[in-house]
A and B are shown apart, each in its own frame.
Chain A
Amino acid sequence: MEGSAEGSDDDGEDGGEDAAGGGGEDSAVGGADTPISPTAAMLAALLDADASSPLPTAATAVAAWFAHGHARGELKLGLLPFLLEHAMLPGERRGVFLFDDSLRECVAAAYASHSCVGGLLFNPDGNHYELTPLLRIEEIKQGPECTWVQLAAVGRCKISSVRRNKLHGFRLAIVSPYSDEGGAAKPSPSLEAVHAEVASQRRQLAKDLTAANEFDSGTWVSQGREAPLGEYQGGEAGGNEYIFVGADSGRACFGVYDSYEAMEESDGGELCEHVYVGLPWERPTAMGCCYFNARDVTGRHSNLGPTDLQIGCRYAADPAG
């Protein structure tokens, strides 16, 4: 894939320990003696000149932090691991549950400062890509067992160095802007036309399948769907939230097992995939993470704790962990 690159050896990544203090306040790489590019200097000057501009929004604050950091060569981001297929495109928003203590520290530290983290994108083999989505933390809720954050993808960055926070164990990286470099694009009427047609088809198919579902509950299975349309819409968990949990072993799939779940509504059972989230003292300091669609974090199983969650089926283990 264009612009992608397998990560360097994980041993190498872990070799650099970050001399971070508490709360994720990491020492700067680069520093005052770091040469500043003309472009970066210009950006800094523009932002400095615009300091009195009354735009007190999260978006402008992040933009200012990003430009200043870039100008000084010290853009450093804490990283949340994602499978490549879960990558957020710019402008997208997603709620995420974090159970891993190090990742909870990562977002807490970021939220206390510039409110940005990066998405470290992994392939199924555990190697990461050089590109990372720049994720703004829009909202955070911290509980005794997990942290929930709402992330918004606001740009892309290129990773130049990945290391580990010495105190809390999460990964962080020195990053630089990653942007399109091609010539000036033009509006594409043909793209808009085919998108409009597909959107219409998707609306019609969803409508048909919903209607069919009322007639035959097996329709969704035959269409390869995980769940009926709308079952989770409007729910507190939403349909785009993922649970992130730490791997119990760097090279093992995290606590995933199959079982036949007895369904209250039926006499038979249904093959389900479960994940054992684990207790704090059972979690290693490993970085490996799993990704689960939080279908049942509330609602039908709201009486269960996080160790009993019956959730989806996507996972990845970081061998470096």
Chain B
Amino acid sequence: MLCQLGELDDAENGASLAELVNTRRAVLTSGAEHGLLELGIDAWGVASEEEAHLQLSSFAAAATLSPMDRAQALLMKDTTQRQEFAQEALAQQQNLLAGLLTAAGPLDVDDASRG
């Protein structure tokens, strides 16, 4: 269970994809007002700011996956493939989380009744 969910006590738990992307962009640009492409990020092999954004977004989408899924996302060499991989893994998380939330429901009920 833990392996599939990744960290729940992480500071970024529950953050939106846009927030995750913005956080990472700030790290990459050292907080300055630069575009990713403007920095000349040779290691990213991108030709446009949009391409850089999509690639960064695909990594951000994988942030809350399990450690090995994160590693797999890191090793991929195709942004679209990484997007699809993250989507599939997140869909699995969605099912798992739905089950956990359902299971957690009775706890609140018991808590309330005992209180």
**In the complex, A59 Cα to B51 Cα: how many Å?**
19
Which residues of chain B in 73-98 are interfacial with respect to chain A, using CB atoms and an 8 Å cutoff? 73-84, 86-87, 90-91, 93-94, 97-98
Are A233 and B28 neighbours in the complex by a CB distance under 8 Å? no
Which residues of chain A in 86-122 are interfacial with respect to chain B, using CB atoms and an 8 Å cutoff? 86-87, 89-93, 121
**In the complex, A25 Cα to B86 Cα: how many Å?**
40
Q: Which listed residue, A129, A155, A197, touches B94 by the CB 8 Å rule?
A: A197
| Contact indicator per residue, chain A 198-236, by CB within 8 Å of chain B (1) or not (0) | 111111111011011001100100011101111111000
Pair count A-B, CB < 8 A: 238
Are B75 and A206 neighbours in the complex by a CB distance under 8 Å? no
Are B44 and A199 neighbours in the complex by a CB distance under 8 Å? no
Is A46 interfacial (CB 8 A cutoff)?
yes
Q: Distance in Å from the Cβ of B94 to the closest Cβ of chain A? A: 5
Are A181 and B34 neighbours in the complex by a CB distance under 8 Å? no
Are B78 and A155 neighbours in the complex by a CB distance under 8 Å? no
Which residues of chain B in 16-51 are interfacial with respect to chain A, using CB atoms and an 8 Å cutoff? 16-17, 23-25, 27-32, 34, 39-46, 51
Residues of B near A131 (CB, < 8 A) are: 74-75
Are B27 and A3 neighbours in the complex by a CB distance under 8 Å? no
| Contact indicator per residue, chain A 161-190, by CB within 8 Å of chain B (1) or not (0) | 000000000000000011111111111101
Q: A57-B34, A84-B71, A179-B77 are in contact. Are A198 and B97 (CB under 8 A)?
A: yes
Chief secondary structure at chain B's binding surface: helix
Are A59 and B30 neighbours in the complex by a CB distance under 8 Å? yes
Interface residues of A (CB under 8 A from B): 1-4, 43, 46-47, 50, 55, 57-60, 63-64, 66-67, 70, 84-87, 89-93, 121, 129, 131, 133-134, 138, 152-157, 177-188, 190-192, 194-206, 208-209, 211-212, 215-216, 219, 223-225, 227-233, 239-240
Are A55 and B75 neighbours in the complex by a CB distance under 8 Å? no
Interface size class of B (residues with CB under 8 A): 35 or more
Are A63 and B42 neighbours in the complex by a CB distance under 8 Å? yes
Residues of A near B59 (CB, < 8 A) are: 89-91
Q: What are 12 inter-chain pairs, A to B, with CB distance below 8 A? A: A46-B40, A60-B32, A70-B42, A86-B67, A89-B74, A91-B24, A91-B59, A177-B45, A194-B90, A202-B97, A206-B13, A208-B104
Interface residues of B (CB under 8 A from A): 1-2, 7-11, 13-17, 23-25, 27-32, 34, 39-46, 51, 54-56, 58-64, 67-68, 70-84, 86-87, 90-91, 93-94, 97-98, 100-101, 104, 107-108, 111, 114
**In the complex, A200 Cα to B17 Cα: how many Å?**
11
Q: Distance in Å from the Cβ of B25 to the closest Cβ of chain A? A: 7
Q: A47-B40, A84-B71, A91-B24 are in contact. Are A203 and B13 (CB under 8 A)?
A: yes
Are B17 and A212 neighbours in the complex by a CB distance under 8 Å? no
Residues of A near B1 (CB, < 8 A) are: 223-224
**In the complex, A228 Cα to B9 Cα: how many Å?**
8
Q: Distance in Å from the Cβ of A251 to the closest Cβ of chain B? A: 24
Q: Please indicate which of the listed interface residues B39, B61, B71, B114 has the most CB atoms of chain A within 10 Å of its own CB.
A: B71
**In the complex, A214 Cα to B78 Cα: how many Å?**
45
**In the complex, A204 Cα to B28 Cα: how many Å?**
30
